[in-house]
Amino acid sequence: MSRKKNARATLAIHGGTGPHRTGDPVAPPLVQSVNFIQEIGTETGLLYTRYGNTPNLVRVQQRLALLEGAEAALLLSSGMGATACAMLALLRPGDHLLTSAFIYGGTHRLFTEEFTQNGIDVTFVDPYDTRAWRKRIRKNTRAVFVESPINPTCRVVDLKPIAALSKEAGLALVVDSTFASPINMRPLEHGADVVIHSGTKYLNGHHDAMLGVVAGTALYIEKVLAKMKVWGHAADPFAAWLLERGLKTLDVRVQRQNENAMRIATWCDGCSEIKRVHYPGLASHPDHEIAKSMLDGFGGMMAIDLAGGGKATDRFLRRLKLFQHATSLGGVDSLVSEPRYSSHARLSSAERARIGIPDGFVRISIGIEDAGDLIADIAQALQ
């Protein structure tokens, strides 16, 4: 049987590059120049970093499109820049956005504060209530937004019924797939129209570059590009170069993170100091079946509820040696963070508990260190 396309591990290294010639550099050159000499008397060949069309940007955009199975992709300066431009390309004042209630804190603020101030109506829906999605659709609804897996609870949303509903109503389904990376999920395969990533996380994978990605049809990406140019969210060439380097190991990194997280979650599940483990790979997880149907791997993100609550968490975090206490996720170094002091600091303790983030909740981004060392670190910190 002939294989139709290259596997993602190969695409992440070679996708979008032409035939190689003698003398070509194996590592791509970094072209930091923001502008390029243009032919006189024509508008073609007008290259400028803010237009997203300089060499490092173009290379990595082609590769990202191939990884997501999209016609085109655009690289932006951050995940938030990607979400803002992706949505501005779909929504105008007077339009209505239907969004999952469980989304990244920054995205939530963008929708509630910026969009509503600019005449875009926003309705939040429980993503597990398909009937609620249907009921909330209005005449002026234009787009549906979902994040999956969800930050920080690691819940997984079944995209298929939401995609069917969106298609039926003629709405664009936008999915923030940051937690999965294209190795674990390609939302377009499940009926989404647009995919968003914080490239800062798994795609780059080394906690050293800030980037965002939007992928979709070529026609739509043109519209996002038009927004990006004037709102000024283009990525820097050096960040794009770092991303290209990071992408080369995306597959091995994510496979290792999947394996590590599964081992660590399983170990934590049998630990009396831990009240609850949030990991979609565990059979006890509420979305385990959905996760099996949506994901190729259960991911490197997990969370634990410490039985001792907030005080125990403080002690636990101070004793950890390998896990570093820092925001962000998806890199080779394992990190821990507490949503009560970061993304969910603006909610009260009771409000957080109601949405599944009680005091004692620790979000863990599993890196690619040895799983045994990571487990030993957790074990000694719990003592």
Ligand X SMILES: *Cc1c(COP(=O)(O)O)cnc(C)c1O
- Which residues here bind ligand X, judged by CB under 6 A? 78-80, 104, 106-107, 147, 151, 176, 178-179, 198, 200-201, 210, 212
Q: Nearest approach, Cβ of 209 to ligand X (angstroms)?
A: 9
User: Least distance (Å) from ligand X to the CB of residue 226?
Assistant: 20
CB 376 within 8 A of CB 323: no
Which residue number is nearest to ligand X in terms of Cβ?
79
Select 77 or 258, whichever has its Cβ closest to ligand X.
Answer: 77
Residue with tokens 């009260």: 348
- What whole-number distance in Å separates Cα of residue 87 and Cα of residue 249? 30
Residues forming the active site: 50, 104, 176, 201
Choose between 188 and 209: whose C-beta lies nearer to ligand X: 209
Q: Which is nearer to ligand X, 151 or 260 (CB)?
A: 151
What span, in angstroms and rounded, lies between the C-alpha atoms of 349 and 135? Answer: 31
Output the smallest distance, CB 47 to ligand X, in A. Answer: 25
- Residues near 306 by beta carbon (within 8 Å), at least 6 away in sequence: 273, 274, 275, 312, 313, 316, 360, 361, 362
Instruction: Burial-class residue 234 by CB neighbours within 10 Å (0-12, 13-18, 19+).
Output: buried
Report CA-CA distances (Å) from 8 to 5, 65, 85, 250.
9, 11, 27, 9
- Burial level of 272, CB count in 10 A (0-12/13-18/19+)? exposed
Residue 108 in tokens: 């939530």
Q: Are 183 and 247 spatial neighbours (Cβ–Cβ below 8 Å)?
A: no
Shortest Å, Cβ 81 to ligand X:
7
- Give whichever of 81 and 274 is closer to ligand X, judged by the CB atom: 81
Residues 6+ away with beta carbon under 8 Å from 184: 254, 258, 295, 296, 297, 298, 299
With CA atoms as reference, report the closest residue to 250 among 151, 187, 180. 180
CA distance linking residue 221 with residue 309, whole number of Å? 45
Nearest to ligand X of 212, 331 (CB atom): 212
Cβ proximity to ligand X: between 142 and 201 the closer is: 201
DSSP 8-state code for residue 23: T
Cβ 176 to ligand X shortest distance, Å: 5
